Structure formats: C-alpha cells, structure tokens
Amino acid sequence: MSRSADMFARANAVTPGGVHSPVRAFRHVGGTPLFIRSAQGSRIEDVDGQRYTDFCMAFGPMILGHTHPAVLDAVTAAAASGWSFGTAEPCSLALSELICSRLPWVENLRFVNSGTEAVMSALRLARAATGRSLILKFDGCYHGHTDAMLIRAGSGLAGIADSAGVPPGVAADTVVAQLDDIPGLEGLFAARGSELAAAIIEPLPANHGLLPQRQEFLDALAWQCQQHGTLLIFDEVISGFRTAFGGMAEITGIRPDLVTYGKIIGGGFPVGAYAGRREIMQLVAPVGPVYQAGTLSANPVAMAAGLATLERLTDGTAYLALEDNGRLLEETLSGTPGLRLQRFGSLFWLVPEDAGSGEVIRTPAAFPAASESRFAKMFHALLAAGIYLPPSPYEAGFLSTAHSEDDIHALADAVRSSLDAR
C-alpha cells in the first residue's frame, strides 16, 4: 500500500471523506487522493516521493509558482517577528494602499480569511446599503459555501438549496438567472429589479468549467443594475490579479460597486477581501452599522505573502509571460482530436469530447455529458505521466510564471497520448 493510500485510510477515520475540502477526495475521477509533502516552482512531491508537474497550483493562488523565493523570504521574516497580533499592523496597511492606489473601483477594502467570508460580508453590506433583501446569482457561478450562495436554479426564478442545512427562507431570498441570456436577464429585472439588493457574478466563471462570458452580457448586467439601483458585485476570488492586475474589472472596463478577492491576494495563505466604493464600505463597523469581525483577519504572515506576491505583478511582465505560456498550450493542443481546450489568459479547461460544436461553452447546460468519465481516464493517464491536474472535470487548470516551455509541451504530449490510448 502506498503511503498516500495509508494516510487516506487513516484520514477517513477522523475526517468526513478523509479530506478538508470535497474536491480533494478524487470523487469525480476515482482512485486515491495524493498526500503532498512539498512543492517548489512548478513541481509538487507526494509522501511516496513521486514528483508531478502541477497545473492545479492550489486552485489558483500560486501565480508565481510554489515557494517563490521572494514570498518565502517575506513570510519567514514576518513569522520571525510574530505570526498573530490581534491588533492593527503595518503590512495590511501597505497591501491595502497598494491595491487602492492601482484599482480605481477599490476605494476601501476589508481583509477577511477566505473568499467565502468575503462574499458573505459583501452580501450583508449590499443589503444594508440598499435596504433590500433579494440577491441575484447566476447558475454555474460559485461564490463559496455561505448559505445564500449554495442555491441552484429552480422553476422560474426560484432558488433551490444545493446543500442540506440551508433553510427554505434563505433559498427564497436568492434568485437564480442563466448565464449568457440577455433577454432572460432583462425579463428578470423588469419583474423584480426593484427588490434586488445585489447581483453577484463571477465575471469569468471558473468553478463549473471555464465559461467565458460575452462582453455584451456583462455590459447588459451592469446596465440593468444601474437602472434598478441594484449593486453589482464582481466575485474575483479566482480572476482577481490573475487575468490582469485589475482582474476582469480591468479587462471588461466595468466598475463593480463591490468586489470580492481571495487566492492570489494572500499569496497562497488564507486571505480574502471585500472592497468597493467608499460610501458603501463606510457602512462597515466600526464606522457603520454593518457588523463584521475576525480574530485572524489581516494576519501579518498572510499579509506579507500577499504583498510580496502583488508587488511582483505590478509591472505587468508576469502577465505577458503567463499569456505566452497560455498561447503555447493552445497552439500545441490545437486541432487535437477528441479534445476541447478553453483558455482565458493563464486559466485553461480541458474537455474530452468526441465532436464539439466549436462554439465556446458559456453555460453549464452546454457541458458535454460524456466528458466526466472521459476526463477521469485522462486525469489518471496524466497522473501516471507525472502531470497533476485539478481532480475534477469542472475545475480550471492554472499556469504560473514558474512553468517552463518544457512543462507546457509535457502536458500537451501527455494529453495527446491519453486520448490516443482511449
């Protein structure tokens, strides 16, 4: 028995499903999850000593690669000075000033400990700012595991809880619309726009496949929000500081009222943030009536990691390198029979399918049903070849500045070989 298998058996005795986040359990792909003991650059190593080229990158935050020397130095220095104060401290100030000085739609921000916590706080803030209760979300977008966002589309505009333990009253306050459907969006706002406190969307949905949205759809959403006094929340936990320094807000030219961040903003440490216009953010305690607090919020070690990471992204050269890597991956896999590749910058999604329409997949309904089992076979073939992808057909892969051209070619070769052997 491998050490990973032994550890997984032990973990199942003390942890639900043997993991601390569901996708890690390999349920979508089968087999035994790997227990990783170390990582550096573009490589991870499991407890059995097997090394893999990593294209999961901790689901996105490791944009500079694992254990980047500058980030490691910043973390080491911060920890040597004390790793939790429970007070105001200078590193969170420096990180806040860096972000606010470069992103015009971020006039104030508040650090929290996760993307889920950021979304939860932003929704509470939106309700307080508007005096309304309803929240609009989109089928296929994931906003963490706060109750109000664990809702899928039901009949009409009604939301249905996607998890046990979510009360019907909570589900009733969330309405669900379809991505890439402007007429449906217009109809929803005509019917209920005056009741909507906020519309929250991943401007680049990346948790139910990578589903790039048309600029026209995002523009229509922003216009409808403006016309009906509904706050627009961009969930940029994944896309923030990855697609560009300013994320999708920068790329689309749309200024959200509120935005949520995570992942890269903490350099791989547990950090989230919600941010936006000053007059809205000033409703947050202690200056306003919207309560939110956290013992470990703006943890000095996490702030140091985030600051060191973002400082290395400010001049834009990292994004040029990431785009070069993404373009190389696209070129090497272009025309591969039985495969669809969707890419946006340094995010990519591999969809094994026999004959796609050629049109970009923009909604969950367009996902090819047979691709899940085909992805599982491809995943394990790549694992045997020393390539680690996110262990789910619905998760995007991530490139980093640590990936080399050889890494990209190795991924492409392994994908083609896995499809040939199918």
Catalytically active residues are 142, 235, 263
Using alpha carbons only, give the angle 403, 337, 205 rounded to the nearest 5 degrees.
55
Both tokens of 49, joined, read 């000593």
Distance CA 182, CA 194 (A): 18
Distance CA 274, CA 276 (A): 7
DSSP-assigned letters across all residues of 25-76: G-TTT-SPPPPEEEEEBTEEEETTS-EEEESSGGGTT-TT-BT-HHHHHHHH
Distance CA 319, CA 323 (A): 6
Distance CA 342, CA 359 (A): 10
Determine contact, residues 201/141, Cβ cutoff 8 Å.
yes
DSSP-derived 3-state class of residue 262: strand
Half-sphere exposure for 343 (CA within 13 Å, toward CB) = 19
The answer for residues whose C-beta is within 8 angstroms of residue 277's C-beta and 6 or more apart is 105, 107, 108, 257, 258
Amino acid at 133: S
Q: Name the pairing type of β-strands 258-262 and 347-352.
A: unpaired
Strand order across the beta sheet in which 397-398 lies: 339-344, 347-352, 397-398
Roughly what angle, to the nearest 10 degrees, separates helices 215-228 and 182-192? 10
Strand order across the beta sheet in which 108-112 lies: 108-112, 272-276, 258-262, 231-235, 196-201, 134-139, 174-178
SS (HEC) of 343-409: EECCEEEEEECCCCCCCCCCCHHHCCCCHHHHHHHHHHHHHHCCEECCCCCCCCEECCCCCCHHHHH
* Beta pairing partners, 339: 352
User: Phi/psi at 109 (nearest 5 deg)?
Assistant: -145, 160
Distance CA 56, CA 411 (A): 12
